[in-house]
Amino acid sequence: MKKTMKILLIILVVFLMLIVVGKRILFPPYDEIEVTGKYEINSEDYWVTEDKEDSFLMDGSMREVQVHVWYPKDYDNSDIKLPMVIASHGSCGTIDNNRTLYREFTSHGYVVLAVSHPGHAFDTLHSNGKKQTVSMDYLKKMSGMDPQSKPEEAAKLFAEWMELRMTDLTAVMDDFVEKVMQSPDRFESADIGRFVTCGHSAGGSAALGMARIRSDVVGVIALESPYMYDIKGVKDGEYIMDDSDYEMPVLNVYSDASYSHLHEWKQYRNNMKFLESKNENYENIYYEGTGHMGLCDLSLASPILSGLLDQVKSEVESEEQLKRLNTDCLDFLRRISFSE
C-alpha dist (Å) from residue 202 to 36, 91, 165, 327: 28, 6, 9, 22
What does the pLDDT look like over 57-77, one tens digit per residue? 777 889 999 999 999 998 988
310 pLDDT tier (thresholds 50, 70, 90): confident
Q: Using the predicted structure, report yes or no on whether residue 27 has a pLDDT greater than 90.
A: no
Distance CA 289, CA 234 (A): 34
pLDDT confidence of residue 18: 39
C-alpha closest to that of 270 among 217, 228, 215: 228
List, for residues 255-284, the tens digit of each pLDDT value.
Answer: 999 999 999 999 999 999 999 999 999 999
Per the CB < 8 A criterion, the answer to whether 74 and 40 are in contact is yes
Contact in structure between 110 and 338 (CB atoms under 8 Å): no
C-alpha to C-alpha distance for 324 and 185, rounded to whole angstroms: 33
Closest CA to 244 of 277, 219, 199: 277
Least confident of 29-33, 73-77, 199-203, 247-251: 29-33
Q: What is the pLDDT of residues 102-121, one digit of tens each?
A: 999 999 999 999 999 999 99
With bands split at pLDDT 50, 70 and 90, how would you rate the model's confidence at 17? very low
